[in-house]
Amino acid sequence: MNKEDKNIIIVENLSKHYIVKKNILSKKNLIKAVDNVSFEIKEGEALGLIGESGCGKSTTASLILNLIKADEGKIIYKNMDLTKINDDVMRGLRKDLQIIFQASQGTLDPLMTIDELLKVPLKLHKIVDNSELDCEVTRLLNLVELSESDKYKYPYQMSGGQRQRIGIARAIATKPSFIICDEPVSALDVSIQGQILNLLETLREELKLTYLFISHDLKVVKHLCDRIAVMNKGKIVEIGETRKILENPKEEYTKKLISSQLFV
Ligand SMILES: Nc1ncnc2c1ncn2[C@@H]1O[C@H](COP(=O)(O)OP(=O)(O)OP(=O)(O)O)[C@@H](O)[C@H]1O
Ligand SMILES: [Mg+2]
């Protein structure tokens, strides 16, 4: 990998708290979903964000993409603080910053063909001229290793793995520089997981992408990620090179996480 030392995203002291009622009688409870989190992601890097369910991974993702508002902190992208910019500027940045979700099925309109689905982001962000739309859809399908004939299918006519490839094609359609992969293979059969991970790795090289790769599965992040950030109860407890973290974890929580997955 041709990694540069330039940071693409810098997260500084980011926090998001929620006040919830546990039950009808109880007092209000403060949940520190993301609690004073700081890290940076270098251009071309894949940073893994790992931790147990509910530790704040998806909330971190939503904050970075400005889908929810931060209570505190900064998210610096191209010298701009995403927590401060107005909606118009953010709309322009949407195509640069993409996300791939766990279950693409839920995000694919069942009434649209694959062709129509892929044309939505292409048209919205004016990625190509109208005359080039068909060619571009074919190119995207080739990139995610599907065939041109898949254009005419509906999402229900595809397998889970193929649907996830469509989710990936939609994310790369806008030629982003940064993609958050939020548990992109968790809903898939183990035999298919490897294929999708290989595809994400190939695309990273070919399209010079940077990933924030969210997973609770250490096996998944082990091969793809250059560095890992370990999250527990809204905080990043440890961050470093993947091999170092896995071979020589410093924090008690990381050690437990590794041993709980019988990871070698
Ligand atoms: N809108 C919300 N209102 C109240 N609490 C929320 C809200 N969104 C998230 N939370 C809480 O914040 C915490 C972190 O949630 P988050 O979805 O970020 O976890 P996660 O690490 O992605 O978990 P998983 O691995 O299960 O996807 C959880 O306790 C969750 O219940
Ligand atoms: Mg999540």
Q: What is the pLDDT of residues 88-104, one digit of tens each?
A: 999 999 999 999 988 76
> What is the maximum span of the chain, computed from C-alpha positions, in angstroms?
61
Strands 210-215 and 46-50: parallel
pLDDT of the residue at 104: 64
Please tell me the residue having the least CA distance from ligand 1 atom 28. 54
Give dist(CA 140, CA 147) in Å, integer: 10
Which residues lie with the beta carbon below 6 Å from any ligand 1 atom?
Answer: 18, 20, 31, 33, 51, 53-59, 216
- Ligand 1 site-directed mutation target among 58, 68, 215, most atoms within 8 Å of CB: 58
Per-residue confidence at 105, pLDDT binned at 50, 70, 90?
Answer: low
Name the DSSP letter for residue 71. S
Tokens of 185: 């293979």
Enter the DSSP assignment of 244: H
pLDDT in tens, 171-193: 999 999 999 999 999 888 888 99
> How far apart, in whole angstroms, are the C-alpha atoms of residue 251 and residue 244?
12
pLDDT score of 203: 97
pLDDT band at 144 (very low <50, low <70, confident <90, very high): very high
The three-state secondary structure class of 217 is coil
For the chain, the structural domain boundaries read 49-66+94-260
* Alpha carbon of 151 to ligand 2 centroid (Å): 30
Cα–ligand 2 centroid distance for 218 (angstroms): 15
**Domain 49-66+94-260 of CATH type 3.30.1540.10:** no
Residue linked to tokens 């030629």: 175
* pLDDT tier at 260, thresholds 50, 70, 90: confident
What local confidence, expressed as pLDDT, does residue 3 receive? 46
pLDDT at 212 over 70: yes
Q: Which of 50, 55, 216 best tests ligand 1's pocket when mutated (most atoms within 8 Å of CB)?
A: 55
Q: What is the pLDDT of residue 89?
A: 93
Neighbours of 109 (CB within 10 A): 11
Q: How far apart are CA 216 and CA 37, in angstroms?
A: 18
Secondary structure letter of residue 110 according to DSSP: T
Q: What is the mean pLDDT of the chain?
A: 92
Q: Tell whether the model's pLDDT for residue 262 goes beyond 70.
A: no
Ligand approaching nearest to the C-alpha of 53: 1
Per-residue confidence at 264, pLDDT binned at 50, 70, 90? very low
Compute the distance between CA of residue 34 and CA of residue 56 in angstroms, rounded to an integer: 6
Helix, strand, coil percentages in the chain from 3-state DSSP, rounded to 5: 40, 25, 35
Beta carbons within 10 angstroms of residue 164's beta carbon? 28
Instruction: Note whether 249 and 238 are within 8 A (CB).
Output: yes
The percent of residues in the chain predicted with pLDDT above 70, rounded, is 97
One-letter amino acid of 106? G
User: H or E segment at 118?
Assistant: helix 114-124
What separation in Å is there between the alpha carbon of 139 and the centre of ligand 2? 31
* Coil, strand or helix at 206: helix
Q: Which ligand neighbours the alpha carbon of 33 most closely?
A: 1
Give the separation between CA 243 and CA 228, rounded to whole angstroms. Answer: 9
Judged against a pLDDT cut of 50, whether residue 263 lies above it is answered with: no
